[in-house]
Amino acid sequence: MRKFLVMFAITFLASWQTMLAANGHFITDAAYRTKVETAFKQKVNLVGKQFYDQKMLKQQKATADEQGALQFLYAYMPVADVTDYPTSFFLENVRTSFEARQQMAWGNKVPELLFRHFVLPVRINNENLDNSRMVFFKELKERVKGLSMKDAILEVNHWCHELVTYQPSDGRTSAPLSTIRSAYGRCGEQSTFTVAALRAIGIPARQVYTPRWAHTDDNHAWVEAWADGTWYFLGACEPEAVLNLAWFNAPASRAMLMHTKAFGDYNGPEEVMLRTSNYTEINLIDNYGSSARIDFEIVDAAGNPVDGAKVDFKIYNYAEFCTVVTKYTGADGATFLSAGKGDMMIWASKNGKYGFAKASFGKDKKVVVRMDHQVTVPGAEQKTILFRDSFDIVPPPEHANIPEVSAEARAKNLERFAYEDSIRHAYLATFYNKESALQALKDNGLAAGSEENTQKMVKYLVGSSGNHHVILTFLKNHKDRIDRAIKLLGTLSAKDLRDMQMDILEDNFNAKSDQLSPRVENEMIITPFKQFFEKEFAKQQVAFKNNPNLLVEWVKKNIRINPDLKALQIAQTPIGVYRSRLTDARSRKVFFVDVARSLGIEAQVDEVTKKTQYKNANGGEWIDVDFDNDVQKASAMGKFVMNYKDNGAVDDPKYYSHFTIHRINPDGSTSLLEYPEEGCTWSGTFKNGVDLDEGDYALVSGTRLANGGVLAEMQLFHVKQGATTQVDMNLRSSETEITVKGNFNSESKFILLPSNQEVSLLSQTGRGYFVTGMIGVGQEPTNHALKDIAKVAQVFEKWGRPIVILFEDEASAKKFRISEFPGLPKNIIFGIDKDGSCRKEMVENMKLQNKNLLPIFTISDTFNRVVFLSQGYTIGLGEQLESVIKRL
């Protein structure tokens, strides 16, 4: 049978290539065309011909250009896209792409290389694919008609801002149409949406991202678009008057890495960081800041070069050394990287051996990493502390390049910005609030039950945003079993409520299993599956439920793992896995849990460790699933106790703010233990001990300084089965952190709200230290700053000193919605910085490079001494202010 399939594929591909040769091809480079055809052949052989619908293409009379474009897409798209979407979907996208190229004035200006890699591809991030290209093309083609490419890019961004604004959320990227429905998106969703809109009208566009900032704890994504021979950048859904201007000009100049994933095998002018079977990752750091190259040599304990070592380049961020680039060495043990002129940790591993070293870009020319550590073999004797050292981490300096914008152009853009806000707010007004949600429940006979159930339904309707009709209809459909319906909705994430489809909800509700949750992690959920697996495994259900290990064995026997381990791991649907019998390690986890739950077996991917587990039917014990072993069992565990002594600035360190723990994997690489972001502290979680799997770990801790630098420390330790491991955590501090950095006149005047009186800072603050914040309403850096301050509101209220928040002007003050920032300290004084006088004085006295960059936060006293300054984008601002306050 296998021989027949291979022969069929060879015959099929030969006839395909003959047909294309006779009719032409949208790839004019013969050598590249041959490379694509080879990759296409390999993909068909890997996945199976049933996922490429040749009959449909014949019926739809696909042209040679369309077939060539499809061949290119299928050659490089991830397995999930091949198995989870029909060929007709991609044909429709290809046809719309060609239609845009023909109809838009710039269509013939776009080079083939850029059209192929930055217009034609459908996937941008890890989003569900949808019909946005077709919808957006129809919506935008007339709106940009007659505009230049640059003006069209600006206009598309204004359109995006009419529909979507920023709101943080989980790491799953919603599809562009879902983002519109909810009217909100984090930066990854805003940029995915904007790239999709630009590509829909034939403008090359790509999502650019810094995987982690070096100077503050966060990441960011934005858009680059090509016009008339040049790539320009823009903040997605944040329109400015000109291109190459955004709130992140300054932080981008301090970044260490900027990436984009070019679809397919891309050969452009940029530095290639990683080339895979799906994408080419390219380095764009030189578009934003100054970079330097370091050559790395990876050697073993004896000093010999290591071939095939995995080299993880790590930036300190969120209290971890986070991998932002992975490379592999050649036979000479060498690799290289160009990055911003700051510090990284380099971690090399292979076959259980590993080593690490700090690298300073701009200073070091060559760094040797010696793999002289060995992962402890389970059961072997090992000392508790394997390594301990401190590292001073320095981010790149700021060298922002800010384009000039006339006052007239800026005012016109702000006027449009406000109008676009009004359009979006009118749509937001159609969403439920608590009162209208309760009324909808009453109108539909859903509020007659318990008060607890009613409040839960109100919460779900309010949280569902533009998806409220789905959630309300689902509840109405199941009045007779409302408890089960509410329980199912209770398993959904906030984002799920905003974009979950009715067929998914109905499938889970009507399944026999009481394991209601449709979600395992942040995977795509686009196809119902529970009732499908009920039927497919009807004969084995009882046996599998009594002994879930039999399901593990079925998966091991029937589901192949993609041999290309570097392939893009977009989560495949469980139906796609089942039909193709091919997947990757991540999607196999999701598949196992989904099938298990469909059969009534309690299963999960553990949130902290990411281990696949099922619950033992007899003892109720969580059993770890290891697809490489014959026996499934609970892990050998030991207790880990962390000791900490108050350093005078932080009394109860927080996970992701002050420390993190990483498992050192059997191959020597590292994996973060992903404890909950909210509420995980030293005293609440680690002071009295937690159970950890036996093995080696890394404890990373650090103190972020106001200048963006970090005083970091790393300890490697071993947890032994049945034993208690105690580790002392140290948060380093700086003796020079609290110094006078400049001056700011406490007699400066502002307009006090709500009285509209002109007053001085001193008259409102009294003698002593106080905080001043000059904010840009609606700007992402300001939103982050205010939310960070709200997180430590009790600290400010206990301190008792005033916080003066100044708006840019009266219009900004009216636009500000305090309800969007619940929990702000009660000791805030709001005012207007009349004519920008306070900001002007701060900029001049503190010698700030950029007068327009907001927010600006200071701690100063009424003797005019500034002891803390933060300008622009800073995550963890509240904790930085807290640290300084405790030292005053």
Is the peptide bond prior to 754 cis by the omega test (within 30 degrees of 0)? yes
**457 close to 436: Cβ distance less than 8 angstroms:** no
- Report how far residue 772's alpha carbon sits from residue 676's, in angstroms, rounded to the nearest whole number: 32
In this structure, are strands 320-328 and 385-393 parallel, antiparallel, or unpaired?
A: unpaired
Q: What is the pLDDT of residue 235?
A: 96
> What is the Rg, in whole angstroms, of the alpha carbon atoms belonging to the chain?
28
- Does residue 41 sit in helix, strand or coil? helix
Q: Are 223 and 205 in contact (CB under 8 A)?
A: yes
Sequence spans of domains, the chain: 434-601, 742-887
Reduced 3-state DSSP string for 568-628: CCCCCCHHHHHHHCEECHHHHHHHHHHHHHHCCCCEEECCCCCCEEEECCCCCCEEECCCC
d(CA 675, CA 608): 5
User: For residue 262, what pLDDT is reported?
Assistant: 97
CA–CA distance, 503 with 496 (Å, rounded to integer) = 13
Cα separation of 828 and 805, whole Å? 7
Which pLDDT score is estimated for 2?
A: 38
Tokens of 266: 């891309």
- The CATH code belonging to domain 742-887 is 3.40.30.10
Question: What is the distance in angstroms between the CA of the first residue and the CA of the last residue of the chain?
Answer: 78
pLDDT at 12: 42
Q: Using alpha carbons only, what angle is made at residue 14 by residues 9 and 18, rounded to the nearest 5 degrees?
A: 150
Q: Give the pLDDT confidence score for residue 4 in this predicted structure.
A: 37
Calculate the alpha carbon distances from 621 to 543, 609, 624, 633, 691 in Å: 18, 16, 10, 9, 14
- List pLDDT tens digits, range 679-731: 899 999 999 999 999 999 999 999 988 888 999 999 999 999 999 999 999 99
Instruction: Put the strands of the sheet holding 769-774 in their side by side order.
Output: 742-743, 865-871, 856-861, 769-774, 803-807, 828-832, 749-752, 757-760
pLDDT of residue 20: 40
How much is the pLDDT for 19? 42
Q: Give the pLDDT confidence of 151-202 residue by residue, as tens digits.
A: 999 999 999 999 999 888 888 999 999 999 999 999 999 999 999 999 999 9
3-state DSSP assignment of residue 365:
coil
Which token pair is 503?
């067929």
For the chain, which residues score pLDDT lower than 50? 1-23
For position 430, what pLDDT does the model report? Answer: 96
Q: Which pTM does this prediction carry?
A: 0.89
pLDDT score at 737:
66
Q: How many CA atoms lie within 13 A of 832 on its CB side?
A: 17
